[in-house]
A = this chain, B = another copy of it.
Amino acid sequence: MNEFQRRSAELNDLLCILNVLNWDARTQMPAGSSAARAQQMATLSALAQERLLDPAYEAAAREVGPEDRAARQALDAVSALRRVPPELTRELAALKGEAQDVWARARAASDFDMFAPLLTRMVELNRQLAGALGYEDYPYDALLNMYEPGLTVSTLRPLFDRLREHHVPLLRAIQARPQPRTDFLHAHYPAAQQRRLSLALAQEFGYDTRRGRLNESAHPFEISFTRSDVRITTRFQEHFLPGALFGTLHETGHALYEQGVSPDLVRTALTSDLLGLYAVAGASYGTHESQSRLWENRIGRSRAFWDLHHPQLQAAFPEQLAGVDAATFHRAVNTVQASLIRVEADELTYDLHIMLRVELERALIGGELEVRDLPEAWNARIKADLGLDVPDDARGVLQDIHWSAGMFGSFPTYTIGNVMASQFYAAATRQVPDLEGTLARGDYAPLRGWLTEHIYQHGRTYTPHELLERTTGHGLDPQPYLDYLSGKFTELYGLDHPTVGRKEQTA
């Protein structure tokens, strides 16, 4: 180990430890310890940042040279973080604590005015942050780059236009059709059986519980402390089966990514998000999301999956699902319905929720939208896209924690993940012999093997764009995703024909 590797390993250890503290706080910690834990995490974060910005680390990285990808990422992160004034970092940290607190109370009271002054300040500080980090075209680009290296407003705009042109008419067509039966999804499903079935399916996908575990938490998540310890959580709702079931498959997708990184990259800068001071092997938030969506939706919500696993499902819940065949279950868990709440949205309308947020936060950061005008803009977009009236801000502009936590620029990664998932899946279909046949037999090794070879093992060696180019020969391209959604919902809802989205064929 050279000095750069030694220091990178130590940094990765500290970031992994921060993740342990985070996991513990969300799954185990008694309520009375939240202040003490926050203090401990602040101390360790400060220490990690101190080590990252230690001139000796930069010198060691220069010694290795920027043609080494690990060294270059370290140098980039150091240079970016050095541009942020410590005063701004402190102010942001302090504001986050206060803003989340006020946001929680404002949401409970459905009172946007209560939150508005803090949001205004948060937008202002994030504009300053964008200015400090630097950008070419839009300040929002600087923030995007923290979650999705290389992604810009100029890429997002046409992409979102295509998605909206596709999704909204498809949603309208679906809304004109009868809905499938879903009553049985709300029977009583004891948590213990839900847990057993979910974990069994996760293990069939290839989740290695010798290097992971499943716990419960209020908000499901995946987190890793090296590839040897990749944990997932879920939340069991005893009167709604799909929540924990598909939630677990979603987090399993994230976990397969983290468990699949090459052992050679453990404790290196290529399994550390140094800019975000976060231990993670995945290349970006969007790339990560592409894997959770791929396993949850492309596999877990497919007809082949339920044709195969229907006996397991029936064995777990014989009474609750008496007389519900694979096709009926598959239809039910693919219901599309416009709703107000993002986290409850289906596969099609989810993107509409995301795009709304992205466009509004971009406008806020760009100075084109004032905080006071935000609720009206929100409600107008919900009406236009989903056809719904927002009854109060709690079910509207106040529903997400992200802005109060200062996370401007993270929302796009959910939709980017959907798009990338279909690109990767299409490439795998072309390159893996009889991929569909293997999946229909429940043999997930060929798909997982392809993903590991082309994506997982590389950790953060390549940017998301490079990963796409290497595997598909293209940059971001929504066509495979649009084809998938059109095909699936046209069939499920008995629509006349794929409605839209085949732009390159009609042009």
A interface residues (Cβ-Cβ under 8 A, vs B): 9-10, 13-14, 16-17, 20-21, 24, 28-33, 35-37, 39-40, 43-44, 47, 208-213, 225-226, 228-229, 266-267
Contacts and interface: CB of A to CB of B under 8 A. Distances in A.
Copies of the chain in the assembly: 2
Contact of A17 (B17, B210, B225, B229): B17
A44 B14 contact: yes
Nearest to A215: B28
B13 A43 contact: yes
B14 A228 contact: no
A213 B24 CA distance: 12
Contacts of A37: 225, 229
A14 B36 contact: no
Given A20-B40, A36-B229, 18 more contacts: A13-B39, A14-B47, A16-B40, A17-B17, A17-B43, A17-B44, A28-B213, A30-B209, A30-B212, A30-B228, A30-B229, A32-B208, A33-B226, A33-B228, A35-B228, A36-B226, A36-B228, A37-B229
A390 to B, nearest CB: 38
A21 B32 contact: no
Contacts of A16: 36, 40
Nearest to A51: B47
A212 B31 CA distance: 9
Contacts of A226: 33, 36
Nearest to A11: B43
22 contacts: A10-B43, A13-B40, A13-B44, A17-B17, A17-B40, A20-B20, A20-B40, A30-B209, A30-B212, A31-B210, A32-B208, A32-B211, A32-B228, A32-B229, A33-B211, A33-B226, A33-B228, A33-B229, A36-B225, A36-B229, A40-B225, A47-B47
Contacts of A43: 9-10, 13-14, 17
Contacts of A32: 208, 210-211, 228-229
